[in-house]
Amino acid sequence: MTSKLLNVALHVDENMAFGVSRDENIPTPGDGELLIETRFSGANPADIKHATHLGIYPTRLGYDFFGKVLEAPPGSSFKVGDNVAGYTPTGVGRPAKYGTHQSYLVCPENMAYSVPENLPPDHAACLTVVAMTAADALYNLFKFPLPGDSTSSSSGSTPRPLLIWGASTSVGICAVQFAKASGVFPILVSASPGRHALLSELGATHCFDYKSPSVIEDIQIVLQNYQFDGVPYAFDAVGSLSGLGSAQMVASCSSKDAILVSVVVQKDPRFVMPLATTNEDVTLKIANIPHPIVIPARKEDHQRAWSALQWAVEHYGSRFRLVSVEVFQGRAKDALEELKVLADKGRGFGKLALMHPLV
């Protein structure tokens, strides 16, 4: 007699209460979808915040993953046994099958990719969301050339300053490396001084201490050396909203017609927000807005960002990397607490991967 499969999952219920479930309900893939046995799932603040801030509940938690294909649709480019990574859809009404913090998950095959040997499984599980967010900012909102484009190697000859505030965040780390690969110059970054050597190694040309009382003046002096009154491209990779927020600091360094991007929705209407998932419409419920809002799909933009992600995967370990990935192995209830801490306080540096099965 064969034992039945057990699906251990982290979830949020209809009352927005977070918990752990253990059952034999293995998700069922639809047309064009893969059934995947989860080996690692990547933790993101969105795992919790999408429920508490954007009305995405009830559902199972998680977006990033690495795992093994158990079922593939007819004619798929994937086959049973393939090692794959990727991410899953978001939005109000999100089916539980798309949660990645569970033993078995479902993923649309166009949101997954085969994992090469140069990309470690735990890193693969943490890569897609942050890389796609950074890629949407650089290649769709700023419209920089993709890595490998004929213009990438020569674009550094004409200064086009880019400021990345909070460059040691995971999205910031990805943005610095994409910018270097695309020939963006100069690349100005803010971070704590202890991260400056790393960021210079990854491609930053000028590093600033974000806590320095003269940081804005210091950035403006460098910009003036390049004949710019303000930075034309500015990316707030922190998204802080309390006190003198990161977006306000970014705006203070920017030119009047600058393109301003922040990883969270800002009150300042000059800022736009990048999205990791632009392949389909996304419905959200935002506080103080009486009705759900729909963010329309940008399918061409998705393909452009996906091309950048595939470049990162191909060159992982040589020209692109996540600099720190910690692996959690243990009890599901403890993993859930890790997600709550991440959403509340952040990690400051590096990524967290949950090893499955959780116990």
pLDDT for position 163: 98
pLDDT digits (tens, 9 = 90+) for 214-240: 999 999 999 999 999 999 999 999 987
pLDDT digits (tens, 9 = 90+) for 59-100: 999 999 999 999 999 999 999 999 999 999 999 999 999 999
pLDDT digits (tens, 9 = 90+) for 100-128: 999 999 999 999 999 999 999 999 999 99
Q: How confident is the model at residue 151 (pLDDT cuts 50, 70, 90)?
A: low
Asked if pLDDT for residue 153 goes beyond 80, the answer is no
Burial of 15 (0-12, 13-18, 19+ CB in 10 A): exposed
For the chain, helix (H) and strand (E) counts, in that order, are 8, 18
pLDDT for position 245: 85
Alpha carbons 240 and 238: distance in angstroms, whole number? 6
Q: 61: closest CA among 41, 40, 31? A: 41
Q: How far is CA 266 from the centre of its chain?
A: 18
Q: How confident is the model at residue 2 (pLDDT cuts 50, 70, 90)?
A: very low
**Per the omega criterion (within 30 degrees of 0), is the bond before 357 cis?**
yes
Asked if pLDDT for residue 144 goes beyond 90, the answer is yes
pLDDT for position 242: 55
Alpha carbons 105 and 103: distance in angstroms, whole number? 7
pLDDT for position 158: 76
pLDDT digits (tens, 9 = 90+) for 238-277: 987 655 689 999 999 999 999 999 998 888 899 999 999 9
Asked if pLDDT for residue 155 goes beyond 60, the answer is no
Mean pLDDT score, 188-206: 98
What domains appear along the chain, each with residue ranges and CATH number?
7-115+324-355 (3.90.180.10), 134-295 (3.40.50.720)
Contacts of 64 (CB under 8 A, 6+ apart): 41, 42, 43, 44, 85, 87, 100, 125, 126, 127, 128, 129
pLDDT digits (tens, 9 = 90+) for 18-62: 999 999 999 999 999 999 999 999 999 999 999 999 999 999 999
Asked if pLDDT for residue 138 goes beyond 70, the answer is yes
pLDDT for position 286: 85
pLDDT digits (tens, 9 = 90+) for 311-359: 999 999 999 999 999 999 999 999 999 999 999 888 778 999 999 999 9
DSSP collapsed to 3 states, 209-278: ECCCCCHHHHHHHHHHHCCCCCEEEEEECCCCCCCCCHHHHHHHCEEEEEEEEECCCCCCCCEECCCCCC
pTM, full prediction: 0.96
